[in-house]
Amino acid sequence: MSKPVCLDDYEAYARQKMEAPHFGFFCTGAEDEVTLRRNKEAYNELIIRPRVMVNVKDIDLSTSILGQPIKTPICIAPTSNHRLAHPEAEKATVRASAAHGTCFCLSSYSNCGMETVMNEATKVDPNSLQWFQLYVDRDRKVTEQMVRRCEKAGFKAIVLTVDLPTLGRRLTEERAGFKLPDFIRFGNFQDEHSGRGPNRHFGYDVDASLNWKDVAWLKSITKLPIVVKGVLRGDDAALAVQHGAQGIIVSNHGGRQLDHSPASIEALPEIIEAVRGTSVEVYVDGGIRHGSDVFKALALGARAVFLGRPIIYGLAYNGEEGVKQVLSQINKDLTTTMTLAGCTSIDKITRDYVAPRIPLSVRLLAGKL
């Protein structure tokens, strides 16, 4: 293949390079994959309304999340099993993230332990920003121990995933009889967990009884800010605020859980409206492949976006350097979009820069032309 020039090219390369079942693990969605497709397609339902005659000589991508400065609003989403893409797994990914000055969110089910990942990040940049994604275990002692380790290691926020009371059905995986290979281990679990076979443990100890009271419990055992991940409704966003969340990630788990749920970008405006007037920050993931997608999400009110699958594809392409290339490409794309749209900084990307794409025939019938 020729040199990748966009994020879709990295996906095509990963499809060729990775073992088919391993690639399938990352690329598949739930059931008929309607939501998986909608996550990308929904961005095409928005148009960008550019300003002209603006001095765009200097473009600034820097921003902050939960008071922590980052050089770009494009962060790395929590994904499990990076070792399926590259032997260095999350170590390579976090080094690339630290080099780009952005936030890396480590999955509970990472292959490298949180302490190892943090050590790799600080080698690159002692001030680099890492968050930790948490599933609440049925054994609360396991969760509490993990939170304590997270604090000690230096993570700056807990990202509580709330959309996985059970695993969604992924028919592609079922047809292939996919199982995690024996070399996969989950580095964040204590000995009694890491000794289990990977397929027995992966996702099976997540507590299906999780409810909003557990956010209060989590806040009682840590002073780290809590970000709730997996919210798609305004009323749930309001409850997250009510129970003390400092951030919300609008997410449908990459279309891997409930099929026919809204695309993340479709749900974003409702969440933004629900938290209006509060200090709660809103982020979004799912379907982002272009700088223009990032621009649209920021214009709708997201503070930052989180990138999942493309990071894995970059990792498969060339390890740490591949992830750096993916981050460089989409940040370059965002810079180009901002330049052409007439925006010089992230805080100047406002709601009036985007509008719904209305088909010409509808506009004609409505007398808009």
Task: Flag whether 100 is marked binding.
Answer: no
Q: How far apart are CA 318 and CA 143, in angstroms?
A: 34
Q: Which amino acid is at 57?
A: K
Task: Flag whether 3 is marked binding.
Answer: no
For residue 346, the cross-strand partners are none
Residue-level pLDDT at 315: 99
Query: What string of pLDDT tens digits covers the 369 residues of the chain?
Result: 689 999 999 999 999 999 999 999 999 999 999 999 999 999 999 999 999 999 999 999 999 999 999 999 999 999 999 999 999 999 999 999 999 999 999 999 999 999 999 999 999 999 999 999 999 999 999 999 999 999 999 999 999 999 998 889 998 888 878 889 989 999 998 554 444 445 445 555 788 899 999 999 999 999 999 999 999 999 999 999 999 999 999 999 999 999 999 999 999 999 999 999 999 999 999 999 999 999 999 999 999 999 999 999 999 999 999 999 999 999 999 999 999 999 999 999 999 999 999 877 776 777 765
Task: Flag whether 187 is marked binding.
Answer: no
Q: Which amino acid is at 239?
A: L
Which tokens go with 201? 């443990």
Residue-level pLDDT at 189: 85
Of 91, 220, 228, 205, give the one whose Cα is nearest residue 157.
228
pTM: 0.94
Compute, in degrees rounded to 10, the torsion defined by CA atoms 35, 273, 105, 325: 70
Q: How far apart are CA 228 and CA 218, in angstroms?
A: 11
Give me the residue spans of the domains in the chain: 7-365
Which tokens go with 124? 């690159």
Which tokens go with 264? 């993340």
Question: Do 198 and 172 contact (CB within 8 A), yes or no?
Answer: no
For residue 320, the cross-strand partners are none
- Selecting among 82, 100, 253, 290, the annotated active-site residue is 253
- Whole-angstrom CA distances from 319 to 28, 120, 242, 328 are 22, 14, 41, 14
Task: Flag whether 15 is marked binding.
Answer: no
Task: Flag whether 311 is marked binding.
Answer: no
**290 assigned to active site:** no
Residue-level pLDDT at 363: 67
Task: Flag whether 161 is marked binding.
Answer: yes
Residue-level pLDDT at 194: 46
Q: Which residue has the tokens 């790799």?
A: 120
Which tokens go with 248? 């919300």
Q: How far apart are CA 254 and CA 77, in angstroms?
A: 10
- Whole-angstrom CA distances from 64 to 240, 295, 302 are 21, 16, 12
In CATH, the architecture of 7-365 is Alpha-Beta Barrel (3.20)
Residue-level pLDDT at 365: 76
Q: Which amino acid is at 163?
A: D
Residue-level pLDDT at 276: 98
Task: Flag whether 38 is marked binding.
Answer: no
Alpha helices in 29-183 (DSSP H): 34-41, 89-100, 114-124, 140-153, 171-176
Task: Flag whether 353 is marked binding.
Answer: no
Of 346, 350, 339, give the one whose Cα is nearest residue 299.
350
Provide the 8-state DSSP code for 253. Answer: G
Three-state DSSP state, 272: helix
Alpha helices in the chain (DSSP H): 7-17, 20-27, 34-41, 89-100, 114-124, 140-153, 171-176, 191-194, 198-201, 213-221, 234-242, 264-274, 291-299, 309-341, 360-365
Task: Flag whether 107 is marked binding.
Answer: yes
Calculate the CA 290 to chain-centre distance: 14
Q: Which amino acid is at 207?
A: D
**Neighbour count for residue 367 (Cβ, 10 Å):** 6
Which tokens go with 276? 């209006």
Residue-level pLDDT at 197: 45
